Amino acid sequence: MKFLVDHAFSGLEFTWFAVDSTGHIACFCSAGCGPVPEVAITNSELLESAEDIIDGLPCVGSAHNPTPPRGNPYHADRLAERGFYAFDWRAETEAYVIESKPTNPIRVADIASPDVQKAVGLLGLSLELTEIIQLSRAELLAALAASSNTSED
């Protein structure tokens, strides 16, 4: 598994997804400078399309902000209201930090669109998102490498 910092989307917000060991979905926003898995970059069109569909999904709950949001939490809260855990890259801690947790998290099987299921299922995490506050690059690499959904390079 490779993480990239220099890629075609460097300097731009890039969103990628991963599924935890229970089937819950995390959305990771790079803030223009966070590391992004290479497989996410190579599937950028699929991820962009899925993000548009996700934005139109109905709300299934509300958002809980366990950490102080940086800036406007609108995007993170919208994801959480749709059942996704929303993380944002924080350069000062060099980690993806939870910005918004769903009160009613959904699983991949709850999503009707096969394209969205494919996009969110590109990467798997060998941990449960329920208690995670932040994930460093090393922690993400370990969780991705240990997951049965992810192959080693």
The phi, psi pair for 54, rounded to 5°, reads -60, -40
In this predicted structure, the answer to whether residue 56 has a pLDDT above a threshold of 50 is yes
* Tokens 């229970």 -> residue: 22
The pLDDT assigned to 6 comes to 60
Angle made by CA atoms 21, 138, 39, in degrees to the nearest 5: 65
* CA separation for the pair 83, 19 (Å, rounded): 12
What is the reported pTM?
Answer: 0.88
Average pLDDT over residues 2-30: 79
For residue 16, give the H/E element and its range: strand 15-19
* CA separation for the pair 53, 2 (Å, rounded): 27
Average pLDDT over residues 81-100: 93
The pLDDT assigned to 71 comes to 64
Token pair of 126, please?
């060998």
Q: Which CA distances in Å does 57 have to 73, 82, 111?
A: 18, 7, 9
In this predicted structure, the answer to whether residue 148 has a pLDDT above a threshold of 60 is no
The pLDDT assigned to 135 comes to 93
Token pair of 112, please?
């009707």
Q: What percent of the chain clears pLDDT 90, i.e. is strictly above it? A: 55
The answer to whether the CB of 149 falls within 8 A of the CB of 123 is yes
